[in-house]
Amino acid sequence: MPSKRVPLDVVDDDVAEILRRKTPAERIQMTAEANETARVLVAAGIRYRHPGWPEERVQFEVARRMLDAAD
């Protein structure tokens, strides 16, 4: 079953105002940090469910899941 996606343009007015005040570089940095946090959390979940997997397999699965979510 396809996952339900929330539109990215749904942002609280206060959050939108904070983001408007950020420079493009600051917004890019925030995005990079959020992406890294997501990768760490996904990897932790994979390691929890598959404790015997080597790190290379874990990282492959992280990439697969992150890229699949981008579709």
CB 43 within 8 A of CB 62: yes
Q: How large is the average pLDDT for residues 41-64?
A: 97
Residue, of 5 and 25, whose pLDDT is higher: 25
Q: How large is the average pLDDT for residues 33-51?
A: 97
Q: How confident is the model at residue 71 (pLDDT cuts 50, 70, 90)?
A: low
pLDDT of residue 12: 86
pLDDT of 49-59, one tens digit each? 999 999 999 99
Question: What does DSSP assign to residue 3?
Answer: P
Distance (Å, whole) CA 39 – CA 63: 8
